[in-house]
Chains A and B, each alone.
Chain A
């Protein structure tokens, strides 16, 4: 209690709240009593620290508020720095890693060579048949105009001659589709058509023959972006025996099929693919393989011409691998946002297909 009274006196003394008389008395006390003198010095120091702490704390608080305001204006966004500085910075930052990277690169290139040899073998397998449909005659009947709305006008203008047909599906509602590389490879002009019969011009943004995947972008102004895709794309591998369904265009109409994952690797032990048991036909290439939760687990690519029901599908994680690679090389691919949630879980199959079919496109071209 005495301590407290003393402290109060010290604080009043420091704040200058004492009367002249009191002050003289206190100063006298300080001179006589070294302990009290020490207490005053110590407390002065401590209070200074406390006040400083308080003012810095509230200032930091104010700073945060200002930062929040400025952050909204985008002042803290990563700058688009000009070429040289960025390169120099990059070089400075990573030069130590470069040497290591270079030696790894050397090793990888040897490894890749090996892989390429195996990969080439896969396509030398005479039984491996890509499922792109080559249309022998131009099927005029197929593109006969239905006189409905604005689409018909557009069609009259284009009226494409169709030589090849495959399947593709949206991976981003803004109009990005995935299909097989071999679907696109022979096409000079690419069109996509949905189940409602609307079709749009599209362009191949990127073709990766190693993964046998291609990314298309619908560049037609008539295309309305889809806000939410109901399905997601699975990053992990699927298990043996996992059941799935697939949608594709072996005919000029969407066709449903179902099956199961029968092996974890594709033709000739290709670990980037699955072997599936399902019935598919030319035209199914590029079609999504969807599990019962509404996750895309693969992309139909090919079938064995001799064995019955032996179908190969590229694993869905290849899509991510491809996108990652592309995002590194070219910032325009950063725009692609793959759907991460599925709303198909728990629905019965008919409902799942109904929700899904609008986003599976026929990919055609000449």
Chain B
């Protein structure tokens, strides 16, 4: 048991560091279980992939949080998340009275799901705002805030005469993005 947990800790560390091998390993260890869960509960292969991907994002978010400590196996955790997510999905479709038949043990993941929904919601809003600011703002912000490139590199790449001009432009873009982003909140 200790060994399993140690292995899981390693995997989580890899996940937080964006290590491809760790992501692959988690997929290999857990995907078929989730596929069975979803398929046995009115879902398709595509649903299983979707749900599993979402659970991976939750796990990733968790693994990055400094306060996170795994209290059960990754397997149990992923299974619990997926079950909860799938149940939610079924409820939204309101196709079936919601009983998800499951074989594995689960842990309570209510907080995680709630947190994830918030994050996911933000993600969608941000993506939407990003899609509306247009170029070159989008690439500029992407390069600075997401790819974490230096202002000098960005100036060179985008053809600004110096880093200061690029920086000014970047802030202008950021103000626009921020406006778009918060406007959605007001409308929502």
Contact = CB atoms under 8 A, between A and B. Distances in A.
A8 B53 CA distance: 36
Interface in A44-66: 46-47, 49-60, 62-63, 65-66
Contact of A63 (B41, B53, B61): B53
Contact of A69 (B24, B41, B145): B24
B20 A92 contact: no
Contacts, number: 100
Interface residues of B, number: 44
Given A51-B145, A85-B40, A89-B40, A63 B119 contact: no
Interface string A19-30: 000000000000
Contact of B146 (A49, A57, A62, A89): A57
Interface in B36-55: 36, 39-42, 45, 49, 53
Contacts of A7: 171, 174-175
Nearest to A54: B146
Contacts of A208: none
A3 B53 CA distance: 40
B60 A76 contact: no
B84 interface: no
A52 B119 contact: yes
Contact of A58 (B31, B36, B53, B146): B146
Contacts of B60: 55-56, 59
B19 to A, nearest CB: 9
Given A7-B175, A62-B18, A76-B49, A50 B145 contact: yes
B83 interface: no
A225 interface: no
A151 B47 CA distance: 54
Given A59-B57, A89-B39, A92-B42, A54 B171 contact: no
Contacts of B174: 7
B178 to A, nearest CB: 5
A7 B173 CA distance: 12
Interface string B140-152: 0110011100000
A93 B23 CA distance: 32
Interface in B134-188: 141-142, 145-147, 167-168, 171-172, 174-175, 177-178, 181-182
Interface in B48-86: 49, 53, 56-57, 60-61, 64
Contacts of B24: 66, 69-70
Contact of A49 (B36, B40, B45, B122): B122
B126 interface: yes
A102 interface: no
Interface in A216-248: none
Given A52-B122, A63-B23, A4 B168 contact: yes
Interface residues on A, range: 35 or more
Interface in A1-24: 3-4, 7-8
B171 A8 contact: yes
A34 to B, nearest CB: 18
Nearest to A61: B18
Given A4-B168, A60-B53, 11 more contacts: A7-B171, A7-B175, A8-B171, A52-B61, A52-B119, A53-B122, A53-B130, A55-B60, A55-B64, A66-B23, A79-B32
27 contacts: A3-B171, A4-B168, A7-B175, A43-B178, A50-B146, A53-B122, A53-B123, A54-B146, A56-B60, A56-B119, A58-B146, A59-B56, A59-B60, A60-B53, A60-B57, A62-B18, A62-B20, A63-B56, A63-B57, A66-B27, A67-B49, A67-B53, A70-B24, A75-B32, A78-B45, A81-B39, A85-B40
Interface of B: 18, 20, 23-24, 27-28, 31-32, 35-36, 39-42, 45, 49, 53, 56-57, 60-61, 64, 119, 122-123, 125-127, 130, 141-142, 145-147, 167-168, 171-172, 174-175, 177-178, 181-182
